């Protein structure tokens, strides 16, 4: 029952706020209106119809005395029409929303003997009531306004019109109040995708406070990324300088096996430094731009194919997206490098959805066990067993860089098993 109720309730804050505001107003109006109708209209109708019933009894008493002409004159003086009929109305005919009509009929039935039925639809603002008295059938025409107050449906119509008007006013008010919250959500979502859009706190005090807190948080994160990037640039310079001196010194030594081994060690150190800096720097220094995702993937795949890797591309058309092209290219290159180390065949697919675009890299290698996949995307993770992402001299940062790039674009990196090739399936999702 709870789940069914939740499924029909609005999911947005705007819809729920409107529901919270409108439902109590409508409920209170309905309760008050029903109570007012029952206590006021019914009692007033009973009193007015009771007075008419007294006059009818007086007219029928004159009929019972055999003075028909005097009875008709009396009825005319009291505002009635009195005519004999062949057949009587055996039911009460009224509109469905005519709530006081049933009270009129019940009062006549209770206070005037011989009442058989009434028709409240045949003539406007008149009640045709039939009676059987002294073996004859009589029809009395009575002005409806003498028997009941104004029909209560008018109150209901007024209530509905007022409710609609107040709902429209509430809608306009809530839209004005929810707009700052939507702008804050858009700014936060864009920042999660690595985009920076202008935002100024507006709206209620609480919304302004949340907006100011978001701006402070965004500024702190940006300052942290900037300071980290500057620090790493200095580290890069400090590390590369002695490595360059070592390489230069080794190049001047006699060429033998020991010198070649040392030069190889220096090259490995340079590569490790480059990988570490690429992971630590991420894509913080790159601005987003509008690019064709399929064209970007095709370019990376062609570069991999030129280096001797067997790669099939499954992608058609164009997918324009705002992203950091260099960072996405680096993430895809890392996934292709991992596939090249352990597989002979690789396939890259681009799958486009309404909210996400996915780059899927599959291979026919040994894959990664399910219980080690979370560990595989951790920085500097070194897996033992069938597939080690660090094979070939890596430091375990390829998948970590790809995961970091996916998160900075509002997506994620998911590892699984390829159903077609049987190896690893790496899915890089990017928010559109």
Per-residue confidence (pLDDT) for residue 304, from 0 to 100 = 87
Tokens of 97: 């929303």
Model confidence at 382, pLDDT cuts 50, 70, 90, reads low
- Other residues' Cβ atoms within 10 Å of the Cβ of residue 396: 20
Whether this prediction's pTM lies above 0.85 is answered by no
**CA nearest to 276, candidates 236, 326, 245:** 236
pLDDT at 35: 73
Mean pLDDT of 237-262: 78
Candidates 1.10.287.130, 3.40.190.10, 1.10.10.60, 3.40.50.720; CATH matching 217-281: 1.10.287.130
Q: What is the model's pLDDT at position 392?
A: 46
Residue 283 has pLDDT above 60, yes or no: no
How is the chain split into domains, by residue range? Answer: 2-153, 217-281, 289-431
pLDDT tens per residue across span 180-239: 888 888 888 777 766 778 888 888 788 888 888 988 888 887 787 777 667 766 766 677
Flag whether pLDDT at 360 surpasses 90. yes
Mean pLDDT of the chain: 80
- Whether the CB-CB separation of 415 and 373 falls below 8 Å is answered with yes
pLDDT tens column, 294-313:
999 999 998 888 888 888 88
- Which architecture characterizes domain 2-153 according to CATH? 2-Layer Sandwich (3.30)
CA distance 294 to 352: 10
Computed over its alpha carbons, how large is the radius of gyration of the chain? 43
Most confident of 38-47, 100-109, 173-182: 100-109
* pLDDT digits 0-9 by tens, 84-104: 888 888 899 988 877 778 888
> DSSP labels for 1-15?
-HHHHHHHS--SHHH
Where does 289-431 sit in CATH, by number? 3.30.565.10
Q: β-strand 126-133 against 115-119: which pairing, if any?
A: antiparallel
- Residue 21: is it exposed, middle or buried by C-beta count within 10 angstroms (0-12/13-18/19+)? middle
Cβ contact 112:53 at 8 Å? yes
Q: How far apart are CA 332 and CA 324, in angstroms?
A: 12
Chain mean position to CA 314: 33
Q: Which residues make beta-bridge pairs with 425?
A: 362, 416
């Amino acid at each position: 029952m709870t789940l069914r109720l939740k499924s029909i309730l609005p999911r947005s804050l705007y819809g729920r706020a409107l529901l919270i505001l409108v439902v109590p107003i409508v409920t209170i109006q309905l309760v008050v209106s029903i109570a007012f109708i029952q206590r006021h209209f019914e009692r007033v109708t009973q009193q007015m119809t009771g007075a008419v019933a007294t006059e009818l009894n007086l007219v029928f008493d004159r009929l019972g005395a055999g003075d028909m002409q005097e009875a008709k004159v009396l009825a005319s003086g009291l505002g009635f029409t009195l005519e004999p009929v062949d057949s009587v109305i055996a039911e009460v005919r009224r509109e469905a929303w005519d709530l006081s009509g049933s009270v009129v009929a019940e009062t006549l039935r209770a206070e005037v003997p011989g009442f058989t039925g009434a028709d409240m639809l045949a003539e406007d603002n008149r009640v045709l009531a039939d009676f059987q008295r002294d073996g004859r059938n009589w029809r009395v025409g009575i002005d409806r306004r003498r028997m009941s107050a104004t029909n209560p449906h008018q109150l209901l119509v007024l209530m509905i019109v007022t409710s609609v008007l107040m709902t429209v006013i509430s809608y306009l008010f809530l839209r004005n109040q929810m707009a700052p919250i939507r702008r804050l959500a858009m700014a936060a979502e864009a920042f999660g995708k690595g985009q920076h859009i202008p935002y100024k706190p507006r709206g209620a005090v609480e919304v302004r406070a949340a907006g100011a807190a978001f701006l402070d948080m965004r500024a702190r994160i940006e300052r942290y990324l900037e300071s980290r990037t500057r620090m790493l640039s200095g580290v890069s310079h400090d590390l590369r300088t002695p490595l360059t001196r070592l390489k230069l010194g080794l190049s001047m030594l006699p060429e033998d096996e020991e010198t070649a081994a040392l030069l190889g060690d220096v090259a490995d150190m340079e590569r490790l430094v480059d990988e570490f800096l690429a992971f630590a720097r991420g894509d913080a220094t790159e601005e987003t731009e509008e690019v064709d995702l399929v064209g970007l993937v095709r370019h990376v795949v062609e570069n991999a194919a030129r280096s001797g890797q067997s790669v099939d591309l499954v992608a058609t058309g164009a997918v324009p997206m705002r992203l950091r092209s260099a960072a996405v290219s680096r993430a895809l290159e890392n996934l292709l490098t991992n596939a090249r180390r352990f597989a002979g065949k690789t396939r890259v697919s681009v799958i486009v959805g309404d909210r996400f675009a996915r780059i899927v890299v599959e291979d026919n290698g040994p894959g990664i066990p399910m219980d080690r996949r979370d560990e595989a995307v951790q920085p500097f993770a070194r897996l033992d067993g069938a597939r080690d992402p660090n094979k070939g001299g890596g430091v375990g940062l390829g998948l970590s860089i790809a995961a970091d790039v996916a998160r900075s674009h509002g997506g994620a990196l998911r590892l699984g098993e390829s159903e077609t090739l049987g190896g690893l399936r790496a899915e890089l999702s990017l928010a559109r």
